[in-house]
Structure formats: structure tokens, C-alpha cells
Amino acid sequence: MAKVSGLSHDRFSPGLQLAPSLAHCALAHPSRPIHPMPGGNRLPPRPLVAINQEYATLQSELHGGEEVAVIPPVAGG
């Protein structure tokens, strides 16, 4: 699924069972799959997420095939 190092993103694999919104998706539950993954321990408890390259809320709907990204705290400039 999605890499969560903060520097990569990926598309949902076709076989993934999608929930109707991020609120029901594993990506949105900090105590579950994100944080044990590589780099996940550097994410805040509730990291920003983006769907198709736009910031999203946990209420945002997913229909399948979206590009979902977990966004660590940004620090450009």
C-alpha cells in the first residue's frame, strides 16, 4: 500500500478493500498500520493526509484508485 516514510507515495493496490472514507481507512488510525512501518514513528499522532494531491479530511470519501499520501510535518523554505 502506501509508503509512509513521508518521502514517497503510492497508489492503492487494486486488491485493497477500500473504506468509504479515510476515517474508516487504516491510514487514518495512528495506532494501527502507519506507525510501525519504516519512518512511521516520526509521524505525528494524526498526520495530514492528501487525496489525489489535495489535502483531505478524515471525512473525505474514497471511491477507489485514488492517490493517497500521508504527509509528515512540512518544512520547506
Question: What residue ranges bind another protein (CB under 8 A)?
Answer: 6-7, 9, 42, 50, 53-55, 69, 71-77
CB closer to another protein out of 7 and 14: 7
Tell me the closest approach of the beta carbon of residue 17 to another protein, in angstroms: 25
CB closer to another protein out of 15 and 45: 45
In DSSP notation, the chain reads ----SSS--EEPPTT----SBGGGSGGG-IIIIITTSTTGGGS-SS-EEEETTEEE-TT-B--SS-EEEEEPPP---
CB closer to another protein out of 15 and 54: 54
